[in-house]
Amino acid sequence: MTAPAPPAPGSPARAGADAIDARPAWIRLAIAVCLSSLGGVGMWSIVVVLPTVEAAFEASRAASSLAYTVLMLAFAGGGVMMGRLADRTGIVPPLLAGAAFLATGYAASAAAPSLPVFILAHGLVGLGASATLGPLIAEISHWFRRRRGIAVAICAAGNYVAGAIWPPIVQALVEAGGWRSAHLAIAGILLVGMVPLALALRRRAPLGDVGTAHVAPPGRAALGLSTNALTALLFVAGIACCVAMAMPQVHIVAYCTELGFGAGAGAQMLSLMMLFGIVSRVASGFVADRIGGLATLLVGSTLQAFALLLYMLVDGLAALYVVSALFGLFQGGIVPSYAIVVREYFAPAEAGMRVGLVLMATILGMAFGGWLSGAIFDATGDYAVAFLNGLAWNLVNMGVIAMLLLRRGRRLAAA
């Protein structure tokens, strides 16, 4: 089949092509990171206020953790919905809708008369926050060719920037005026910050997105597996690694409270965890360009398991700060690696759908893991078994990824 002619000079298509990997692309990436850092508060504020809300409503740890579970379920489903909207209209409408959902969700949380209303309000928060991760990553991937891996990793790091900066801010707002006023303040900050940034991205992404050179053609199997079988295995791996990841991320503030160190120390540990996660996410893009997405994923998963083991061995304040930093450094590159794996082993025309499905698995894993750790705490009275449960799920993830790497090795040897 004859290759299509290149866009004519001065045409909109050529203008878009000229922007790929150029200064406009990097400016958009910076704006996307800012948006992700703002909208990402939706995933972290509940972790900080969990002990306070639990006491206010006189609820159990598992019941209070349902707010996080509902949030993450809405985040998972919202990512698919917002992604489809972005495909049809561009990134601006989903971002504006996301800002509206976030502000409404936080305002409703502030006014919640009961825990069930508070939990449902966090469904709106999750739906709004979903516009600032998957859809933004997909949007940015269209503007980069040579440096797509690092651009995707930097964009994904915006979520961890949120995790680094928002916990201490939320904790300070809670201490200053209570958790209800804190939620109202967050609603106002998001509206003022997100709307103008979203409007700055009005230019549509260039058409004719290119894939990775060694991706199998549409309809061809990868690693000796059908595309659906490979997707299913990555889906299982995504759930397993993030059930493990959820234990420290969702419960570190509550864990520190149980140990007598206070919620403030837990919020600082969460912030430290996310700060080092930013380093890990960016570094994973460079590493994956050299050893591939699957190998990068296995390295991150193995190191995450080691950090979970360290949590089980220490309970001193200083040691927990160190382990939290290590946990962030070890696991931060795991989720972006899934997107890179999809780009390596699936046809470009399927990449958006497959990335959405695999990222949904990681979010569902976080949602289930956040609730499960709370339920285990309620049943046992401490977090020791919850950490052990996380380690077991982590080993499942390592097994799936190791199997895929072995299949790749055998196919390369036979080639």
d(CA 345, CA 333): 19
Q: Return the SS3 of 254.
A: helix
Residues 100 and 22 in one domain: yes
Q: State whether 82 and 53 are in the same domain.
A: yes
One domain for residues 157 and 243: no
Regarding whether 286 and 138 lie in a shared domain, the answer is: no
**CATH, residue 107:** 1.20.1250.20
pLDDT per position as a tens digit, 158-181: 887 888 788 889 989 999 999 999
**Which tokens belong to 150?**
């690092």
Q: Does residue 2 sit within a domain?
A: no
Q: Is residue 9 part of a domain?
A: no
pLDDT at residue 16, as a whole number? 52
Same domain for 228 and 79: no
What is the extent of the structural domain holding 385?
Answer: 214-415
Residues paired with residue 222 on neighbouring β-strands, in sequence order: 225
Q: Are 156 and 231 contained in the same domain?
A: no
Q: How long, in residues, is the chain?
A: 415
Per-chain mean pLDDT for the chain: 85
Do 198 and 305 lie in a common domain? no
Rounded CA separation 36/128 (Å) = 11
- 259 phi and psi angles, rounded to 5 deg: -80, -5
**Per-residue pLDDT, 214:** 45
Claim to verify: residue 192 and residue 219 sit in the same structural domain: no
Claim to verify: residue 36 and residue 166 sit in the same structural domain: yes
Give me the half-sphere count of Cα atoms (radius 13 Å) on the Cβ side of residue 98: 38
Note whether residue 374 is domain-resident: yes
**144-161 pLDDT, tens per residue?**
877 777 888 888 888 878
Q: Virtual CA dihedral for 57, 59, 62, 68, nearest 10 degrees?
A: 0
- Do 147 and 204 fall into the same domain? yes
Element containing residue 271 per DSSP (H, E): helix 263-291
Lowest mean pLDDT: which of 143-152, 346-355, 365-374? 346-355
- Examine the fold and report which residue of 161, 195, 210 is the final residue of a domain before the chain moves on: 210
Contact 390/247 with Cβ under 8 angstroms?
yes
| Residue 415 CB burial class (10 angstroms; 0-12, 13-18, ≥19) | exposed
Q: For residue 393, is it within any domain? A: yes
Mean pLDDT of 343-353: 68
Domain count of the fold of the chain: 2
The CB-side HSE value for 376 (13 A sphere, CA atoms) comes to: 19
Higher pLDDT, 1 or 266: 266
Helices (H), 178-208: 179-199
Handedness of CA 122, 126, 329, 279 (dihedral sign): negative
Looking at the predicted structure, is the pLDDT value of residue 278 above 90? Answer: no
State the Cα–Cα distance between residues 374 and 366, nearest whole angstrom. 12
Do residue 297 and residue 410 come from a single domain?
yes
Q: What percent of the chain has pLDDT over 70?
A: 89
Decide if pLDDT at 7 tops 80.
Answer: no
Average pLDDT over residues 351-372: 82
Convert the pLDDT of each residue in 78-134 to its tens digit: 887 888 788 788 889 999 999 999 999 999 999 999 999 999 999 999 999 999 988
End residue of a domain, out of 185, 210, 235: 210
Cβ neighbours, 10 Å, residue 28: 24
Give the pLDDT of residue 13. 45
In terms of Cα–Cα distance, which of 22, 135, 20 is closest to 87?
135
Q: Specify the pLDDT at position 355.
A: 75
Torsion angle of the four alpha carbons 286, 291, 293, 297, in this order, in degrees rounded to the nearest 10: -90
Q: What is the mean pLDDT of residues 213-238?
A: 73
Residue 192 sits in the same domain as residue 225: no
Q: How confident is the model at residue 351 (pLDDT cuts 50, 70, 90)?
A: low
Please compute the mean of the pLDDT values over residues 400-413 and round it to a whole number. Answer: 87
- Residue 27 falls inside a structural domain: yes
pLDDT tens column, 267-277: 889 888 888 98
Rounded Cα distance between 57 and 252, Å, is 20
Q: Is residue 6 part of a domain?
A: no
Q: Is 197 exposed, middle or buried (0-12, 13-18, 19+ CB in 10 A)?
A: middle
